[in-house]
Structure 1
Amino acid sequence: MSFLKIIEKKYGDGNYDGDQFGGAGGHDGSGLPENSPSNFMFATGIECSYPTIQKGKVRRDLLRECGHYDRWREDLGLVKEMGLNVLRYGLPYYSIHKAPGKYDWSFADEVMGEIKRLGITPILDLMHFGVPDWIENFQNPELPIHFADYAAAVAERYPWVRFYTPVNEIYVTARISAKDGVWNEQLKTDKGFVTAMKHCVAASIMANQQIAKRRNDCVIVQSESAEFTHELYAKPSPQITLENELRFLSLDLLYANPPSATVGMYLLDNGMTRKEYDWFMTGKPPGYQVMGNDYYGRNERIRLADGTIQISMDVLGWYEITKGYYERYRMPVMHTETNVFDADQAPIWLNKQWVGVMKMRRDGVPVLGFTWYSLIDQIDWDSQLGELNNHVNECGLYDLDRKPRPVAQAYKNLLNEFGQITIVPHGEVLELTDRPARLKVQV
């Protein structure tokens, strides 16, 4: 007699006692996120950019332009309505830090109190493309020390916050401010770019140190743009080759990863001293470091043989580009920003991004979270905020009247299907709870 016949006679066919504790009768990871520490971090963000344009005469503040200062309580309620527990949120650094040692916490205290009351986990964004007027711009060598003071003050005031992005998209900040000439100092020089880059990375490192002194279990989610320029040249051009190396520069300096010889010479040629370089190469900042990769279709470009640039929209995609970043740094990954400006295409774009996340996880890369950015529509990002057109970018989960766009329902559907997957398979064990294993299907 077959042993199977004996088993079936005693226990029945298929589902046996114990399977309900992980296995055949276990949970597949579906259902809205539970706000458990082991949960994959599904998030959204509230767009908060505040660079200056027109030689410092005009301050773009997207929190104001998109109505958040008046409707912040409603906006935070929408986060919970979506079923989300994680929010990338930026306090307006430029208006809070009034002078050395002087702060205005009036708005911050109200909104942070409500975030805490609602049980939302903020990934607190401390600098988003701009600085206070008294610091002027990213060419100021005093920026790192002043920003470190601000980070210390924030960490002391809100000790319950664990997740931070000290300086959002350092590479983009330096490039658009000092190489493309659109924001802040509006320079178009390599030296200006290197200066802005080293000041922003140093500011991030110093802020990280101050946060860690006050919260030694801090998690630093370094949001950075994942970019690539393709070129239709028979012979690769030095310009594009350098650009495709410079996209790594902020993370190379932040994570003490020696850049290529070409980039090293570029830095020394454009104002970085050997002593400064050695300082950056000392080691990674403290705390738990997560490499956040922001990806929009417009992050990929094709340079044609006549020198013109086309937006290529998802040739390699988030998966292939981020894989290159991961192989370079071997850091845990989070998909920290994505959207598309066509509201009708947004659900398709969302699903394509999620397919990339699932493939990355199945390949063994620790992807910890995903973010649709942003909660509500944005304004003038089609001109990188460089022009005051008041043009609405239809990229939010909700429009500026706080009405849901199609992508809101698509995201809810995704959350209902995958909302309880864990950061890593069997991530429940990391909580040291007595809860039994639950996931049958590893996603």
Structure 2
Amino acid sequence: MAKGFLTHIKDHFGDGNYAGDEYGGAGGRDGSGLPTGEPGNFMFATGIECSYPTIDNGKTRRDLLAECGHYDRWKEDLALVKDLGLKVLRYGLPYYSMHLGPGKYDWEFADQAMAEMQRLEITPILDLLHFGVPDWIGNFQNPELPVHFAEFAGAVAQRYPWVRYYTPINEIFVTARMSAKDGIWNEQLKSDKAFVTAMKHIVAASIMATQQIAKVRPDCIIVQSESAEYIHELRATPCAQIKLENKLRFLSLDLLYAHHPDADVLNYLYDNGMTRREYEWFMAGEPPGYQVMGNDYYGRNERIILPSGEECTSMDVLGWYNITHEYYQRYRKPVMHTETNVFDANDAPTWLWKQWVNILRMRQEGVPVLGFTWYSLIDQVDWDIALSRKVGKVNACGLYDLDRKPRKVAESYRQLLQEYGQITIVPHGEMFQVTEQPATLKVEV
């Protein structure tokens, strides 16, 4: 009986593990092993909680960097990031205390923390505005915010030219809603007009800040961290207001990415103070840099409205995959899972693995997912009441508690990193590399 081709190959080259396999092949590496930080590798991250809105009509500042002890233990915290095997950190500089006035800055704390990150070879995704502004700016109703904030962003980029990744403004939609629609933070207003005013000022500030960053780093990568939300209404006849709210969740990214919203949203903008000239400015084009759509997802981001009108938190009905895939279809941007946690430390390991299943499924769909973030490194304070009152309740959502002792989820994350730490952004996409050339605007063909 004649030999088949496979027998000839085995006779000549052996039974697998052929010479040359070490250079990669159709299967590529399996991606196991702790992250290396190589270009093209998936970015596993955590973050330092750094919110600093005001409450009590501006009389009380909630600075979570202080309340969680980071100002005193910053070197220890950064060492924990390194010890866990992470190469990437979402890190927020305290804008409210650093920008002392036009052209005036306090760099003392930032210089120390940034130098230590550089020494430890941690890549920061630098967060420049996290829910609050300096007292001298006031709040998000101030139309001068885009000018002042752009100046700050440019100064940061010039002082730390080695930084490439930025989140100019964290969760623009949440910032505007909590400050101007829900009446909880900063200006504490409760009107559609105040919400639209805050929204246009914050998005404009993000755009102009990106312009200033790009002057220093033309190859900057902008990771826009935005809340991925959805309201499930269980009524036979849908309410027009809730239908509108499910569209308004896109508003910040629509304005940021020059994506025309639906007609009812546009009418809402015009009815509440946005001028046609302002709208056309937002729609003129995208900001510079490589734009990454970061979606933050907590189970409490999904809400159910019962027939009675009662509201309950649905916890993971659609999940990060389904909600983020809807955002991806809308904007066609590379994706990053930029925040997640749960308040019950016992549930955290399972929640971590569930989020990872969502990411693996998104990758299987061919969507370029750049990274994942457990937020945050350390437990937080009073986030169960959205920082609305200064109670001091510890939320056990960190990889480590406030004594810097590891929680169960830290070991689960370490296990995840050891299994998947060297996967590439595009599965088996060894040729994929984030270029160092300036980003170019997309061209429709």
Aligned to 1:274: 276
Instruction: Report the equivalent of 2:200.
Output: 198
- Matches for 1:116-195 after TM superposition, within 5 Å: 116-195=118-197
**Other structure's SS at 1:429 match:** coil
User: How many pairs were matched up?
Assistant: 433
Look up the match of 2:213.
211
* Equivalent of 1:51 in 50, 53, 64: 53
Mapped contact 1:194–1:271 kept (Cα < 8 A):
yes
Q: Residues 325-340 of structure 1: matches in 2 within 5 Å?
A: 325-340=327-342
Q: For the residues of structure 2 that align with 1:203 and 1:8, how far apart are their CA atoms?
A: 64
Any idea what the Cα deviations from partners look like across 1:412-442, whole Å, max 9, x if unmatched?
0000000000111344324599xxxxxxxxx
Please tell me whether the aligned partners of residues 212 and 286 of structure 1 are also in contact (alpha carbons under 8 angstroms).
yes
Counterpart contact for 1:15–1:24, Cα < 8 Å = no
Cα deviation 1:128-154 (Å, max 9, x = unaligned): 000000000000000000000000000
Q: Tell me, in whole angstroms, the C-alpha distance in 2 between the residues paired with 1:145 and 1:78.
A: 37
Deviations, residues 70-97 of structure 1 (Å, cap 9, x unaligned): 0000000000011001000000000000
State the shift of 1:308 in Å: 1.2
Q: Distance between the aligned counterparts of 1:95 and 1:194, measured in 2?
A: 26
Structure 1 spans left out of the alignment, 5+ residues: 434-443
2:266 to 264, 277, 292: 264
Query: Residue in 2 aligned with 1:249?
Result: 251
RMSD over equivalenced CA pairs, Å: 1.3
Provide the residue aligned with 1:105 in structure 2. 107
Please say which of residues 25-34 and 411-420 is displaced more in the overlay. Answer: 25-34
The separation in 1 between residues aligned to 2:204 and 2:81, in whole angstroms, is 33
The answer as to whether partners of 1:227 and 1:295 remain within 8 angstroms in 2 is yes
2:41 maps to a residue whose letter is N
Asked if the contact 1:15–1:25 (Cα under 8 Å) also holds between the matched residues in 2, the reply is: no
Corresponding letter in the other structure for 2:80: L
Distance 2:28 2:366 in 1: 22
Measure how far apart 1:359 and its partner are: 0.3
Q: CA deviation at 1:305?
A: 1.3
- Unaligned runs of 5+ residues in structure 2 are 436-445
SS state at 1:428 partner: coil
Structure 1-normalised TM-score? 0.96
1:287 to 280, 284, 289: 289
Helix, strand or coil at the partner of 1:137: coil
1:304 counterpart residue number = 306
Q: Which residue of 1 aligns with 2:381?
A: 379
% same residue: 73
SS of match in other structure, 2:89: strand
Does the 8 A contact of 2:27 with 2:428 survive in 1?
no
**What is the letter of the counterpart of residue 243 of structure 1?**
E
- Measured after TM superposition, the shift of residue 26 of structure 1 is 5.5
Work out which of the residue numbers 317, 320, 340 in structure 1 matches 2:319: 317
Contact 1:19/1:26 (<8 A) preserved: no
Name the CA shift for 1:20/1:303 in 2 (closer, same or farther; >3 Å).
same
| DSSP 3-state at the match of 1:20 | helix
**How much has 1:295 moved relative to structure 2?**
0.1
Structure 2 CA distance for aligned equivalents of residues 87 and 24 of structure 1: 32
Cα gap change, 1:432 to 1:305, in 2 (>3 Å): closer
Q: 1:163 Cα shift?
A: 0.3
What is the CA deviation profile of residues 264-309 of structure 1, one whole-angstrom value per residue up to 9, with x for unaligned ones?
A: 0000000000000000000110010000000000000001111111
Offset, 1:4: 2.3
Q: 2:78 aligns with which of 69, 76, 79?
A: 76
Deviates more, 1:217-226 or 1:27-36: 27-36
